[in-house]
Amino acid sequence: MNPAVEAKRDLGWAHQFIPAPPDKSPFTLLLLHGTGGNEDSLLDLGRSLLPNAALLSPRGKVLEGSMPRFFRRLAEGVFDVDDLKQRTHELADFVSAASVAYEFDATKVVAVGYSNGANIAASTLLLRPEVLWGAVLLHPMVPLMPDELPSLSSKPIFIGAGRFDPMVPVVETERLADLLRSAGADVTLFFQDNGHGITQDEFAAAQKWLKKASHAF
């Protein structure tokens, strides 16, 4: 398969898809960029996190000024929940359609999201949990409170966070971890003495966690 050709399939989203090498990992990483990113932003991160996985990387459809996002916000840290719910379902439907178009295993999709991308990944876990096998959430917030908690029984989730993140207080990260655990997820929480950026130590911890989690299945 030719990645350059594959990425041009019309599934309603600007996106990149890079298939896994033959007979390699059955996993597909769903790469979800932060505010101002695009479908190319996390490709190198994805390749490094799980080298033999397929990569599916959509561009957020919402523009804040000229910056792509996955859903609207009313102010920093204040989300448009109705838009978030709609966009979450749109993203989940896209992943399902992509699994058919690109013939990857729909039961082995791991979201890797940063900031805004981590928030819509967390929303997907809460609203459409069947779409994701697991998730790497880098600097997320609690995206919303679902009307009813889903069953996330033993679903593996890594949360990376900064103790001095000006956008995501520690208590907010802990609230999300508690919410996911209360739904049954197996949550690993990793804190660094940093801000909102991804450090090398955080990346290394996520890489080690993902390698162990993916090899267990």
- Over residues 134-158, the mean pLDDT reads 96
Choose, from 89, 93, 186, 196, the residue flagged as catalytic.
196
Q: How far is CA 93 from CA 11, 13, 89, 141, 212, in A?
A: 10, 11, 6, 23, 28
- Over residues 56-79, the mean pLDDT reads 94
Coil vs helix vs strand at 87: helix
Does 165 qualify as catalytic in the annotation? yes
**Percent with pLDDT over 90 in the chain:** 89
Contacts of 162 (CB under 8 A, 6+ apart): 139, 168, 191, 192, 193, 194, 195, 196, 197, 199
Asked: is 3-215 a CATH 3.40.50.720 domain? The reply is no
How does residue 216 score in pLDDT terms, banded at 50, 70 and 90? Answer: low
Q: Is the pLDDT of residue 180 over 60?
A: yes
Q: Is the pLDDT of residue 201 over 80?
A: yes
Average pLDDT value over all residues in the chain: 94
pLDDT of residue 24: 80
Choose, from 57, 115, 123, 214, the residue flagged as catalytic.
115
Token pair recorded at residue 115:
């900031």
Choose, from 41, 57, 99, 165, the residue flagged as catalytic.
165
**Percent with pLDDT over 70 in the chain:** 95
How does residue 166 score in pLDDT terms, banded at 50, 70 and 90? Answer: very high
The one-letter code for the residue type at 122 is A
Does 115 qualify as catalytic in the annotation? yes
Q: Which helix (H) or strand (E) holds 73?
A: strand 73-75
Find out whether 65 and 77 touch, Cβ atoms under 8 Å: no
pLDDT of residue 22: 84
Q: Is the pLDDT of residue 213 over 80?
A: yes
Q: Is the pLDDT of residue 214 over 80?
A: yes
Q: Is the pLDDT of residue 2 over 60?
A: no
Tell whether pTM > 0.85: yes
Does 66 qualify as catalytic in the annotation? no
**pLDDT tens-place string over residues 148-163:** 999 999 899 999 999 9
